[in-house]
Amino acid sequence: MRKNNIVLVGGGSTWTPGILKAMTTHLDDFALNRVVLYDINEERQEVIGDFAKILFKEEAPEVEVVYTTDKEVAYSDVDFVFCQMRTGGFDMREKDEKIPLSLGVVGQETCGPGGFAYGLRSIRDMVEMVKDVRRLSPDAWILNYTNPAAIVALALDKIFPEEDRILNICDQPVNLLRSYSKLIDHDVNKLEPVYFGLNHFGWFTNIYDETGKDRAPELKDIILQGGFRPVDAEQRDQSWLDTYAMVEDMLTDFPDYLPNTYLQYYLYPEYKLSTSDPERTRTDEVREGREKKVFAECRRIVENGTARDSKVVHNDAHGDMMVEVAASIANNLRKTFVVMVRNDGIVSNLPEDSMVEVAASLGANGPAPYAVGHIDTFYKGLIENQYAFEKLTVEAYMEESYGKALQALTLNRTVGDAKKARKVLDALIEANAAYWPELK
């Protein structure tokens, strides 16, 4: 088996330890030669990088581990780029959440004005990354998880239309599948989903088991009768438990399909707003929780010189999925994943150039998506509205257009009012001056 050179962009991310641990447990199906961690923040990178060296020395000493803030080192001679950067860090995420809330609009990092603001920040760094990678490793696969993935995926598709080795993925479909599998006590690897929509804006229509039986009706009944909790509920913060609980509400109102949790912001913007605290949002929870824990644990491991008793690096869906996606491509395994691809007729009555999220068989030549066909009016209406928002956001970036930015926010279901949209936009422009193009 070919041994891969990989680079993790955003090597100082809170998710990196879990991904590294997943790499050490998947060496049989994803062989490694070199792992490089790359970040623009030296301090974060050093903590996680020193942890990585200890982990690999103990679990896979044959793998070379390097950490760096030099992109020439990072992007040279690479087979797979795993990208998960956060332009502007948690300081800017906080603004994405709190500025809209202070003006009476949903505040979330990937949905509504928060996702819009984060999108305009992410695009520039992501375009730069793709150009740097292509200069130094023309054939590398770029696996992107950077949010807001819907907007990033669309922007990269518009800016690099010939690219066929960039794959944008989100772990929420697999998180949901893992939680469904627990509800019906079934091996998640034996469940085949049918899924359609945009990223953070989609539905499972069917969940087939290995006998061909669709388990979706049973799953809907279970959730409607007993509610929904994530499989890893003990490790989840309250906001995630609240989020999963909203699936029952969505199913009560719209029982056709199993919804992605992020649809709660678009279907119930007033309720989400009325139950949000503009002074304390998800960013505060992450900073006090995941970020603190991950960095404290990595520092402890570095001090002790061993990762054998590490708690922070337990495997979650995210790490496993990232490595399994790469393994499926590297070894042409053709496993099924829910990924983002250019529509091109997969959903027959949605725009050809939208970036849809659907199930695909993933092999050496990339994703071969499964056809979805025609979707019903309600879903088509919702998706077309959201897609218009995403497209206008990307165009606002590319054309540096205030007008398109205002159109985008006005269309977004979480805003829905042009005067509100203008207020939020003006406040976000001020907050993002260091990151956005100047909108004229």
Name which of ligand G6P, Mn ion, ligand NAD, none residue 175 binds, using a CB cut-off of 5 to 8 Å depending on partner kind: ligand G6P
Cα–Cα distance measured from residue 356 to residue 340, given in angstroms and rounded to the nearest whole number: 5
List of residues contacting Mn ion (CB under 5 A): 170, 172
Phi, psi of 207 (to 5 degrees): -130, 100
132 vs 285, beta carbon nearer Mn ion: 285
Structure token digits, residue 275:
């139950």
C-alpha dihedral over 46, 48, 49, 52, to 10 degrees? 160
What is the Rg, in whole angstroms, of the alpha carbon atoms belonging to the chain?
A: 21
User: For residues 284 and 270, is the Cβ–Cβ distance under 8 A?
Assistant: no
Q: Angle, nearest 10°, between helix axes 377-399 and 402-411? A: 160
Q: Residue 70 CB, nearest distance to ligand NAD (Å)?
A: 11
Q: Prior bond to 255 cis, omega within 30? A: no
Strand partners, 340: 168, 357
Q: Which is nearer to ligand G6P, 147 or 181 (CB)?
A: 147
Nearer to ligand G6P, 16 or 175 (CB): 175
Shortest separation between residue 26's beta carbon and ligand NAD, angstroms:
18
The answer to whether 282 contacts ligand G6P (rule: CB under 6 A) is yes
Smallest distance from ligand NAD to CB 250, Å: 19
Task: State the Cα–Cα distance between residues 93 and 281, nearest whole angstrom.
Answer: 10
| Distance of alpha carbon 12 from alpha carbon 362, whole angstroms | 28
Select the binding partner of residue 85 from Mn ion, ligand G6P, ligand NAD, none (C-beta < 5 to 8 A, by kind): ligand NAD
Nearer to Mn ion, 110 or 181 (CB): 110
Asked if residue 286 binds ligand G6P (CB under 6 A), the reply is yes
- Cα separation, 436 vs 398, whole angstroms: 11
Q: Which of 39, 79, 171, 320 is catalytic?
A: 171
Binding partner at 125 among ligand NAD, ligand G6P, Mn ion, none, C-beta below 5 to 8 Å by kind? ligand NAD
Q: Which is nearer to ligand NAD, 175 or 343 (CB)?
A: 175
Distances (CA, A) of 440 to 294, 313, 405, 431: 41, 46, 10, 16
175 near ligand G6P (CB under 6 A): yes
344 assigned to active site:
no
Please identify, using beta-carbon distances, which residue of 143 and 421 lies nearer to ligand G6P.
143
Q: Which residues bind ligand NAD (CB under 6 A)?
A: 9-10, 12-15, 38-41, 44, 84-87, 89-90, 125, 145-147, 149, 170-172, 318
CB of 17 vs Mn ion, minimal distance in Å: 19
Minimal CB distance residue for ligand G6P: 172
Indicate the DSSP class of residue 163: -
Closest to 220 (Cα-Cα) out of 190, 262, 176, 187: 176
Annotated binding-site residues for substrate read 93, 147, 282
Whole-number Å distance between alpha carbons of 107 and 278: 8
For residues 81 and 140, the answer to whether their CB atoms sit within 8 Å is yes
CB of 108 to ligand G6P, least distance (A): 9
Per the annotation, the verdict on 171 as an active-site residue is yes
Binding partner of residue 67 among ligand NAD, Mn ion, ligand G6P, none, CB under 5 to 8 Å per kind? none
Choose among ligand G6P, ligand NAD, Mn ion, none what residue 423 binds, the Cβ cut-off being 5 to 8 Å by kind: none
Q: Which two tokens stand for residue 436?
A: 């956005």
Please report, in range form, the residues annotated as the binding site.
Answer: 93, 147, 170, 200, 282
Q: Which of ligand NAD, Mn ion, ligand G6P, none sits in contact with 410, Cβ below 5 to 8 A by type?
A: none
CB atoms within 10 A of CB 72: 10
- Judged by CB under 6 A, the residue of 172, 179, 410, 412 near ligand G6P is 172
Residue closest to Mn ion, measured at CB: 170
Conformational region of residue 137, where left means phi above 0, alpha means psi within -120 to 50, and beta covers everything else: beta
Q: Which of 262, 265, 268, 397 is catalytic?
A: 262
Measured over the CA atoms of residue 235, residue 45, residue 66 and residue 118, the dihedral's sign is positive
Nearer to Mn ion, 122 or 407 (CB): 122
User: Which of ligand G6P, ligand NAD, Mn ion, none lies near 379, with the C-beta cut-off 5 to 8 A by kind?
Assistant: none
Q: Which residue in the block uniquely carries the two structure tokens 């402890």?
A: 300
Per-residue x/- track, 142-171, ligand G6P (CB under 6 A): -----x----------------------xx
Strand-pair category, 258-259 with 201-208: antiparallel
Q: Which residues pair with 169 in a beta bridge?
A: 339
Quote the least distance from Cβ 294 to ligand NAD, whole Å.
Answer: 8
Q: How far apart are CA 321 and CA 86, in angstroms?
A: 20
- What residues make contact with ligand G6P under the rule CB under 6 A? 147, 170-172, 175, 282, 286
Catalytic residues: 171, 262
